Amino acid sequence: MAKKTDFSKVDIKTIKEGERFRKDYDQVGINDLAKSIDTSGLLQPLGVDERGVLIWGGRRFRAIELLIKKAIHSGDTERAEWLSMVPAIIVDLSAMASEHNGTAGRLNEIDQKRPET
């Protein structure tokens, strides 16, 4: 299993949105999610790799950015700074790839040993 840390706090300004994330989020949905996060907090962490690239949680990422912008616009820089530190799981993708390659290699060995029919 891939190595990962438990719920680290990461500055959202250091997180980069990967290429795979869509750019056309439903703004009403993002606004609703931002309201929910503002009321209840962030219930699920973001997922980032060891380089700080977002792996999962694109909508949450956008909603938190929206909350930060609103806090800055209202002059509440302290709240904006507090919102900037988000819980995240940092996934070691190199360990995950290594594990995947090892499993694929073992399956290939098993397949090679199987008698042909």
pLDDT tens for the chain, 117 residues long, are 445 555 689 999 999 987 766 677 889 999 999 999 999 999 999 999 989 999 999 999 999 999 999 999 999 999 999 999 999 999 987 655 444 444 455 555 555 565 655
What class does CATH assign to 8-91?
alpha beta
User: What residue ranges do the domains of the chain occupy?
Assistant: 8-91
What is the spatial distance between Cα 111 and Cα 105, in angstroms, rounded to a whole number? 10
What pLDDT is stored for residue 101 in this prediction?
Answer: 45
Task: Record the pTM.
Answer: 0.73
Kind of pairing, strands 8-11 and 54-56? unpaired
Whether 48 and 54 have beta carbons less than 8 Å apart is answered as yes
